[in-house]
Structure 1
Amino acid sequence: MASASTRFDLDKFDGTRDFSLWKEKMMVILIFQRIYSTLEVEKQSEKSEKQEKKKDAELIMKQVRTAIVMNLSNNVLRQVIGEKTAAGLWKKLEDLNMKISTSTEIFLKGKMYGFKMNATFSLEQNFDEVNKIVLALSNMGEDIKKADQAVILMNNLPDQFKEMMIVIMYSRDTLTLEVVMSSLRSRDA
């Protein structure tokens, strides 16, 4: 999962900081380095192959949780620190950060259907704006058909791309946002 050269920066605990956050991050580092088991009190006995596989699966799940925790700021970690599984942690983060509201949905749909290319932006910056809107709507469970995405973009092309739009429309069996963007990139190069 990580190379031996992976380095984690964790301030030394000096007694004045939040110990629970430091402890959580330290445990995450130990799990990631596969040396956390030294902190667990367990009788060393023969383990069956089934137990060994279960331990391997548990280690992988701890490593996934570790990777997530190491990429959270302290204020976010405080909100999710009680989640002990990777799946629980991920679900809690989604619940906290992907709340769907009607006003947000309407705003994003308006942004998508009313999209206008910004003349001061490069072609790539405009593509990025469209992709951001599509991704945000997709994350909310609102999927706009691929062909509709392409048509929205094509209808808002500056005049310099109008001929290219006609070529794209009549030279393809299927029309997607990716096809339109690729064609426009090749023309713009």
Structure 2
Amino acid sequence: MPRDNVLQEVLKEKITFALWKKLEALYMTKSLANRLILKQHIYTFRMAKGKSIITHISLFFTLLNNLKNLKADTSDKDQAMLLYSLSSSYKTFRET
């Protein structure tokens, strides 16, 4: 969901608890659509130019953990996408 849409959704909430519940409903719903969106993020995730590999790996595992939190199955194929998300400078590592 684009950031402006999220802001519009939570703008009227005045209590922290209500805000948290609204955000939880928007992002943690265990729906098929949310699982598919997270899978899409995993399969299209690419290493940003100039970003450290440690940061990249951390972001990738955050995506995987978000998917697991939705009780979605994560396969070895999903985890292997980490290798394909690396920049071309890690080509040798990826092939190994």
| Class of the TM-score when normalised by the shorter of the 2 chains | 0.5 to 0.7
Note the alpha carbon deviations across 1:148-186, whole angstroms, 9 max, x for none. Answer: 13421112222221112223xxxxxxxxxxxxxxxxxxx
Task: Evaluate the alpha carbon distance shift between residue 136 and residue 150 of structure 1 in structure 2; reply closer, same or farther with a 3 A threshold.
Answer: closer
Letter in 2 for 1:75: T
Distance 2:79 2:32 in 1: 25
**What residue number does 1:121 align with?**
51
**Deviation at 1:135?**
0.6
Ranges in structure 1 where 5+ consecutive residues have no aligned partner: 1-73, 80-92, 168-189
TM-score, with normalisation over the residues of structure 1?
0.35
Alignment length (residue pairs) = 77
Q: Which residue of 2 aligns with 1:166?
A: 95
Q: Hey, what does 1:99 align to over in structure 2?
A: 29
- Residue 149 of structure 1 corresponds to 78
Query: Which consecutive residues of structure 2, in runs of 5 or more, have no partner in the other structure?
Result: 1-14
Query: What letter corresponds to residue 112 of structure 1 in structure 2?
Result: I
Alpha-carbon displacement from aligned partner over 1:78-103 (angstroms, at most 9, x marks no partner): x6xxxxxxxxxxxxx99x93322333
How far, CA to CA, are the matches of 1:158 and 1:140 in structure 2?
28
Which residues of 2 match residues 30-49 of structure 1 at below 5 A?
none
The 2-side partners of 1:129 and 1:153 are apart by 10
Pairwise CA RMSD of aligned residues?
Answer: 2.5
TM-score by length of 2: 0.63
CA distances 1:27-84 after superposition (whole Å, capped 9, x unpaired): xxxxxxxxxxxxxxxxxxxxxxxxxxxxxxxxxxxxxxxxxxxxxxx732xx6xxxxx
Distance 1:156 1:110 in 2: 13
Partner of 1:75: 16
Sequence identity, in percent? Answer: 19
Q: Which of 1 and 2 has higher RCO (CA within 8 Å, sep 6+)?
A: 2
The one-character-per-residue Cα deviations of 1:108-142 (angstroms, maximum 9, x if unpaired) are 11101111111132111111211111011101111
Higher helix share goes to which structure?
A: 2
